[in-house]
Every structure is written in C-alpha cells, then in structure tokens.
Amino acid sequence: MLNRRGLIAGTAGLALAGPALIRSAHAQGSGPIRLACAGPMTGSNAAAGEQMKIGAQQVVADMNAKGGVLGRQLVLEIADDACDPRQAVSVANQLAGRRVALVAGHYCSGSSIPASKVYAEEGVLQISPASTNPKFTDDGAWNTFRVCGRDDQQGQIAGTYIAKTFPGKKVAILHDNQAYGKGLADETKKALNAGGVTEAIYAAYNPGERDYNALVSRMKSVGIEVMYIGGYYTEAGLILRQAKEQGMAVTMIGGDALVTKDFWQITGAAGEGTLMTFSSDPRQRSSAAAVVQTFKAKNIDPEGYVLYTYAAVQIWAAAAAKINSIDAKKVAEAMKASGPWPTVLGDIAFDRKGDVTVPDYVFYVWKNGDYAQI
C-alpha cells in the first residue's frame, strides 16, 4: 500500500532498519535485496501504474519462490510519482536513500527523465518498461535502459501509416505538451509531412481537464477526419467521446498509452475503430505462456505494461547472476555487453544507449471493448 506521506511502501515484509544498517547489509551482500517499481499509482494514469505494479509483484514472487537472486530474497517497494516530474524526483531521492538495487520505472517519460539524473548520481540502475521519449536514453547516463521502443520509431510508423492509409483526409495532430505526448506527436508529424501530407491542425491541450469541447468544435469547423493524439488514455478518451457527441465522423489514432481497458471505460462505443501503436502482443508470445497462465489463474489480464515490467526485473536478475554481483554499474555494463537476455517478451539485447536493439511496433484496433493486433 502507499503511504500518505512517504509515497513509498514495501510489499514483501520490509524490514524497519536504519540507513546505516541498510548500507551495511547491502555492501556485505547479506539480507534481502531491495527493488522498486515506480510509476503513477494515483492520478489519471493510475491504470498504467497498476499494470506495472502487478508485473513487478508477480516477478518478485516467482523469483523468491525459486530462491531469489544470488541466494537472497527480493523485497519490492512500490513508489507513486503520479506522472508528476517533481514528485518523481522526490521518489527517486527516497528510493536512492533506501539503497534499491533496481528501479523498474518510471512510466511517464516526463518522470523517467528527471528521476534518471538522481539515480545516476546515486548509483541506481533504472529500467523503464514504458518511457518512450528518445531523450531518456539519448541524454541518459550509464544507468538508463528501457525494454520498450522509442517515439522516433513509433512516430515514424504512425505518420507513414496515416499518409498512406488516409490520403486526402484532413488530419489533426494533438498533444498534451508533455515529454511523452509532444515527443510522440512531433515524431508522427515529421513522418506525416515527409509522406507529403500537411496536417490541418497542430494543437496542444491541457491534461487533467474534463471538458475539451472547445478543441472539438475547432476540429469540427475545419472538417477533421483523422485525429492523431500524443498523450495518455484519459484525455484521449474524453476528446474522442466529446467529438462523437458533437457528431464528428473521425478516426482517432494514438500511441502505446492507449493500451488499457480503461480507455474504453471512458469512451464506450465511441472508441470503436480507434487505432493505436504498440509492440506485438506479448501475451501471445511463447516465451510468456507460463507466466500468462499464472495471471489468468488469478483472473488477471496481463495487458499493457504488466509483462514489460516483469521482463525488466528478469533482465536485471539474469545480469546480476551472470556477474555474481548486484553492483549497479557492473550490472549495467553486463546488460549492454552480454545478451540477448531471455524474458517473457522474448530475447532482448541493448545497444550502448540502453535501447532495445529490435523494436517491434505494430497497429491495434479497438472493437467491442477490447483491442486486437491488426
């Protein structure tokens, strides 16, 4: 559970030890190993945070059942950044002070980027399951990795697809003016323009609002037929629902932040036909079969970033086992120098920046309350 004041809570028998004792146990290689999952456990993106938490809890439970890592049990801490950059920095400082060996997080690029600076200075390894803004690794230090793709890859696919699939249609490109949303929208715009199409509207909206009818009315007056949105599922769902309520016959296209059933809970039938980019469905991969069955036995659908978070911890554990150490810089170097690493997502290898070497973006479509790969 989340503390009201501390933002961080342990989930596996967290010891109430002082800082000196924690450092001693960590340095001597005794006692449990602390890991953290950091993301939006509250706020408008809480559904994504829940996905991450579920994946982290399951992988820790599975590893502990097999003896832990290097013969030591794992203790998981859940940290809430609410997708707020300032709160993310506060969380990062707290986690660094608790000497976590790994942070599986954050979710929002706007949180991952500033938090990564704290982790780099404090010697903490960070593997994001979800942060796609190129700056996260382009401007990152030794400690930044991600098991997802990048917005310049995702945007290239989206922009090219729109240009080829909707010739002659009036296109709007919207974004929330945040690191993820604007970054993805700009990369999509770049690819769209390279395909010979100029958008009719390029505009920002304010995240966190409930009424986007003014923006919708502007799009309606121009005759927008295709709406690309760089942003998260809550605002995307509201904008689409209000567009349909105003009678617009518009196709929405978005990115990986729409990969949650909560999107449909907002849109209802208005979400029918919405397109989005995400990696090929990890739930269908043979490498994930056993873990997916474990989730299904608990009546949990491991959608979105559940398995990405699971994989992030798997890679860290495999690298630590390979070098017989949890020293963060040594593990980071091993992650880049060795591999590919077997995970629920399949084999993953990293380049020198910490990006995956084989990104895998495809299109999905929403139908009848669920999404499926095209």
pLDDT in tens, 100-128: 999 999 999 999 999 999 999 999 999 99
In terms of domains, do 112 and 191 share one? no
In terms of domains, do 117 and 210 share one? no
In a domain, 7, yes or no: no
> pTM score, two decimals?
0.88
Q: What is the CATH number of the domain that holds 200?
A: 3.40.50.2300
- On the question of pLDDT at 206 being above 90, the answer is yes
Give residue-wise pLDDT tens across range 153-171. 999 999 999 999 999 999 9
Q: Residue 51 belongs to what domain range?
A: 33-150+283-360
Please list, residue by residue across 222-240, b when 16 or more beta carbons sit within 10 angstroms of its beta carbon and e when fewer do: eebbbbbbbbbbbbbbbbb
In terms of domains, do 274 and 288 share one? no
In a domain, 26, yes or no: no
In terms of domains, do 76 and 179 share one? no
What proportion of the chain, given as a percentage, has pLDDT over 70? 92
- On the question of pLDDT at 3 being above 70, the answer is no
In a domain, 20, yes or no: no
In terms of domains, do 40 and 136 share one? yes
